[in-house]
Structure 1
Amino acid sequence: MKTITVREMKAHWAEVEAQVRDGETFEVINRGRPTVRIVPAAPRQILAWENHLATAVPSAGRSAEETIEADREGRW
């Protein structure tokens, strides 16, 4: 983990961002104290959902309007 001041981070943000993208972690120092840690973002996981209709909630024989009305229970 690297240490960087707020002033250095602002002045060299493009370099800091590139290093974080490559896996580096930075601890940001403000007035001599660590305040923030910049870490690489975790990659998003792609959900593999082969048959999404098989797991959908059954309609129970109601129309969409009836289902919405029942869900709202007179709130609107």
Structure 2
Amino acid sequence: MEVMQIDTEFVTLGQLLKMTNAISSGGMAKWFLEENAVYVNGEEERRRGKKIYDGDVVNIPNAGRFKISSSVNGQSDVH
């Protein structure tokens, strides 16, 4: 399993597909999810806007299995 580092609170499934090179452009996400079974934490997911958070595990056909790791510490900008 590969660790995928993100620097935000979450990414969408469509963004993750592009980050992993499963698709070459964001516009391909809808087609890819219609044609391929992608699993988020063991559950099949077809929504390209599904939010993927720190600790989630995503299995993408022909791209691999990825554990999401966020570098965001959950700290607020409010002091």
Q: Identify whether the pair has TM-score above 0.5, normalized to the shorter chain.
A: no
TM-score (norm 1): 0.23
TM-score (norm 2): 0.23
The answer to which structure has the higher helix fraction is 1
Question: Which structure is larger by alpha-carbon Rg, 1 or 2?
Answer: 1
The answer to which structure has the higher strand fraction is 2
| Structure ranking higher on relative contact order (CA contacts 8 Å, 6+ apart) | 2
